[in-house]
A and B are shown apart, each in its own frame.
Chain A
């Protein structure tokens, strides 16, 4: 069900997410000092290549990591296998990517 390729993809995406999660938490703590407003967030992110790359990478890593992880849950707990299992994985990954990419685009270059 999980071969070496999927395993490595999930581990590498986890490695990527490690520092990104820490960065995200740090910015959250920094950003809420003295209240939080949409204007403040957008002021930081709009037009920023750095934040686009930061959260863009995050979204790609989450889509890969989450889709493979949920694939395992769907197989072991849900009994899904073969073609339907692959469809489930790709749909989950594409869905996560669409949601995340839309949000990242909205706060950076939209």
Chain B
């Protein structure tokens, strides 16, 4: 196993011989290195069952959730290369600073916009309405940043909000309980907004939960274009 460490990760490759077992994930192998070969190796994980979104790393150059990726799936001639997530600053070894990712989540108005108090009745949610179906398609995001690391537009344009934040904006726009429509449309129309997306689709290809941020972003482009003509009148 080759591990790319540090800010100039590609120039700091450390090679480790690791035992092969029938059942082990990429995260298991990284953990084996940390526990048995080099205790100074830093990496991040929590749940180990694909729910918390903290263990994403570059595996042979592509972003993956390492706790749910079987090592046999990614071996190339009995070897594998692990690096820190792309498009985010490296703190140490395989741990990246997720702040830019979550800051953009907020910048895209990925927050709840409520207008009711505890005394108001709970608004009904029609599970079959087209808007709810759109919202449901994107709400299983685990914030792992795999799509953000996969996105070539983020790589070339650091201001771009990225697929995860824009997909959350899209789910909130379609949420009957959220009243932030104008704020969301304004936030995703700014210079780092949804219109920078080139629809290359790496987000949708690599999302470990098989979500479709590219289609969500296309929805935002459609809605902002509609509101562009409405507001002009």
Residues on A with beta carbons closer than 8 Å to the beta carbon of B192: 1
Chain A facing B: main interface SS? helix
**A74 and B181 alpha carbons, distance in the complex (Å):** 33
**A3 and B193 alpha carbons, distance in the complex (Å):** 7
**A3 and B194 alpha carbons, distance in the complex (Å):** 8
If A3-B190, A3-B191, A4-B189 touch, whether A76 touches B225 (CB-CB below 8 Å) is no
**A8 and B193 alpha carbons, distance in the complex (Å):** 13
**A100 and B168 alpha carbons, distance in the complex (Å):** 44
Q: Is A102 an interface residue when CB atoms closer than 8 A count as contact?
A: no
Residues on A with beta carbons closer than 8 Å to the beta carbon of B228: 4, 8
Inter-subunit contact B156/A2 (CB<8 Å): no
Inter-subunit contact A4/B156 (CB<8 Å): no
A15 to chain B, nearest CB (A): 12
B2 to chain A, nearest CB (A): 29
Q: Is B195 an interface residue when CB atoms closer than 8 A count as contact?
A: yes
Number of interface residues of A (CB under 8 A): 12
Q: Is A6 an interface residue when CB atoms closer than 8 A count as contact?
A: yes
Q: Is A24 an interface residue when CB atoms closer than 8 A count as contact?
A: no
From A3, A75, A77, give the contact of B195 (CB < 8 A).
A3
B204 to chain A, nearest CB (A): 20
Inter-subunit contact B156/A6 (CB<8 Å): no
Residues of B138-193 whose CB lies within 8 A of A:
153, 156-157, 159-160, 189-193
B 209-233 to A, binary, CB cutoff 8 A, 1 in contact else 0: 0000000000001001100100000
B113 to chain A, nearest CB (A): 20
Instruction: Give B190's nearest chain A residue, CB to CB.
Output: A3
Give the one of A1, A6, A11, A77 with max B CB within 10 A.
Answer: A1
Q: Is A7 an interface residue when CB atoms closer than 8 A count as contact?
A: yes
Inter-subunit contact A77/B156 (CB<8 Å): yes
From A3, A6, A76, give the contact of B157 (CB < 8 A).
A76
Inter-subunit contact B156/A76 (CB<8 Å): yes
Residues of A6-42 whose CB lies within 8 A of B:
6-8, 11
Residues on A with beta carbons closer than 8 Å to the beta carbon of B196: 1-2, 72
If A7-B195, A76-B153 touch, whether A1 touches B189 (CB-CB below 8 Å) is no
Residues on A with beta carbons closer than 8 Å to the beta carbon of B156: 75-77
Instruction: Give B153's nearest chain A residue, CB to CB.
Output: A76
If A75-B157, A77-B156 touch, whether A2 touches B225 (CB-CB below 8 Å) is no
Inter-subunit contact A8/B225 (CB<8 Å): yes
If A8-B225, A8-B228 touch, whether A2 touches B195 (CB-CB below 8 Å) is yes
Instruction: Give A11's nearest chain B residue, CB to CB.
Output: B225
Residues on B with beta carbons closer than 8 Å to the beta carbon of A4: 189, 193, 195, 224-225, 228
Q: Which 9 A-B pairs have the closest CB atoms?
A: A76-B156, A7-B195, A4-B189, A2-B195, A3-B191, A2-B196, A76-B157, A1-B191, A4-B224
Residues of B within 8 A of A (CB): 153, 156-157, 159-160, 189-193, 195-196, 221, 224-225, 228
Residues of A within 8 A of B (CB): 1-4, 6-8, 11, 72, 75-77
